[in-house]
Amino acid sequence: MTPEAKQTTPEPGSSTPGGSRWRGRVALVTGASSGIGREIVRELTRAGMRVAFCARRRARLEALAQELPDAQSSLPLVCDLQDEVQIAAMFAELRARWDGVDVLVNNAGFARGASLLDGASSDWRAILEVNVLALAICSREAIADMRRRDVAGHVINLSSMAAHRVPVGSAMYSASKYAVRSLTEGLRGELRAMDSAIRVTAISPGYVETEFALAATGDPEHARRTYARYPCLQAGDIARTVRFALDAPPHMQVHDILIRPTRQPL
Ligand SMILES: NC(=O)c1ccc[n+]([C@@H]2O[C@H](COP(=O)([O-])OP(=O)(O)OC[C@H]3O[C@@H](n4cnc5c(N)ncnc54)[C@H](OP(=O)(O)O)[C@@H]3O)[C@@H](O)[C@H]2O)c1
């Protein structure tokens, strides 16, 4: 594969006067029914991209699609990322509709109160299936699309500060994010080995005020307290960071951005 793309729309690595270089390109954002993923969909839509987005909660996806300005440029896809058959069907639909993916944002992920001493194996398995395996499967499929069409695309993985130290009680979640770090670097290495222009980025946030804490514990009061200790990051902060990594010039590959709320101690 030659690193440069043969495109009718502008090459994503080149600047486009008056607009994003990704205008008209296709993004897939996973975990878009809330929080960071939903905000990334809005941000990429503002950049003029065609945006497909997935999660399990159909009503949430449809509500998001309703608010986006152009129905032709948005594609909500119900997909449980624990099910590889559903992942394959999602990529098949994307290929049929838009001929594949130029940008993949592997955002879906969750934690659960699953300690190593008394956590349920089913919780551990679910964390690894969504946060790690689905991310690897989606990356493989999206990069196959990019290579087939000779596009200098971009894969962005939502990692975490939990990939850089181990919060006590969340070691399996932390392990999943250490794995994301490894997969990000491994993917970059394989792409380098074939002299590909496809870029890979990880973003590692600290506390972001979303539904994450509620999903992890099921306890609204705990979730409220989690985000009340100091001003936390907002989903829009992360969405703008995704845009920053995407809009970097082609010779510049952002590897891992660590972002904490200013007052987060660890
Ligand atoms: N919030 C934080 O403090 C924080 C910090 C560091 C990193 N992160 C990372 O940021 C990413 C987004 O988290 P968030 O804060 O936006 O959390 P969130 O508001 O709870 O959103 C999580 C998203 O993942 C989706 N998801 C979960 N399981 C899924 C499955 N089996 N199949 C498909 N989609 C699934 C959820 O959709 P459905 O439930 O509708 O399927 C939802 O859209 C995650 O990877 C998380 O680890 C978050």
pLDDT tens for 61-115 read: 999 999 999 999 999 999 999 999 999 999 999 999 999 999 999 999 999 988 9
Tell me the CA–centroid distance for residue 110 and ligand 1, in Å. Answer: 5
| Matching residue, tokens 């939903």 | 38
Give yes or no for a contact between 22 and 246, defined as CB atoms under 8 angstroms apart: yes
Sorting pLDDT into bands at 50, 70 and 90, what band is 10? very low
Q: What's residue 257's pLDDT? A: 98
What pLDDT shows up at residue 113? 84
Q: Is 104 in the pocket of ligand 1 (CB under 6 A)?
A: no
- Residue 50 domain-assigned (yes or no): yes
CATH code of 184's domain: 3.40.50.720
**What per-residue confidence (pLDDT) applies to 20?**
81
Q: Which two tokens stand for residue 259?
A: 């972002």
Classify residue 216: in a domain, yes or no: yes
Q: What is the 212 CA–ligand 1 centroid distance (Å)?
A: 6
Residues 42, 67: Cα–Cα separation, whole Å: 9
Is 2 inside any structural domain?
no
What is the phi-psi region of residue 169: left when phi exceeds 0, alpha when psi lies from -120 to 50, beta otherwise? Answer: left
20, part of any domain: no
Please give the mean pLDDT across all residues of the chain: 94
Domain residue limits at 163: 26-259
Residue 11 pLDDT: 54
Determine the atom of ligand 1 nearest the C-alpha atom of 110.
47
Strand runs labelled E in the chain = 26-30, 50-55, 74-78, 103-106, 154-158, 199-205, 256-259
How many Å apart are CA 159 and CA 154, to the nearest integer?
16
Is 266 domain-assigned? Answer: no
In this model, does residue 172 exceed pLDDT 90? yes
Domain assignment present for residue 11? The answer is no
Ligand 1 lined by 224 (C-beta under 6 Å): no
Give me the mean pLDDT over the 146-156 stretch.
Answer: 98
Q: How far apart are the first and last CA of the chain?
A: 43
| pLDDT bracket for residue 264 (50, 70, 90) | very high
Give the tens place of pLDDT for each residue, 188-241. 999 999 999 999 999 999 999 999 999 999 999 999 999 999 999 999 999 999
Which residue is it, tokens 């993917």? 187
Mean pLDDT, residues 1-18:
43
- 178 catalytic per annotation: no
Q: Which of 40, 42, 43, 56 to mutate to test the pocket of ligand 1 (most atoms within 8 A of CB)?
A: 56
CB distance 242 to ligand 1 below 6 Å: no
CA 17 vs. chain centroid, Å, equals 27
pLDDT tens digits along 48-62 = 999 999 999 999 999
Indicate whether residue 174 lines ligand 1 (CB < 6 A).
no
> How many domains does the chain contain in total?
1
Is 130 close to ligand 1, i.e. is its CB under 6 Å away? yes
**What per-residue confidence (pLDDT) applies to 18?**
44
Query: 174 lies in a domain?
Result: yes
Probe ligand 1: pick from 30, 36, 112, max atoms within 8 Å of CB? 36
pTM of the model: 0.95
CB 215 less than 6 A from any atom of ligand 1: yes
Percent of the chain with pLDDT over 70: 93
Kindly state whether residue 137 falls inside one of the protein's structural domains. Answer: yes
User: How many angstroms separate the alpha carbon of residue 209 from the centre of ligand 1?
Assistant: 12
The reply to whether ligand 1 has any atom less than 6 angstroms from the CB of 76 is: no
Span from the CA of 139 to the centroid of ligand 1 (angstroms): 17
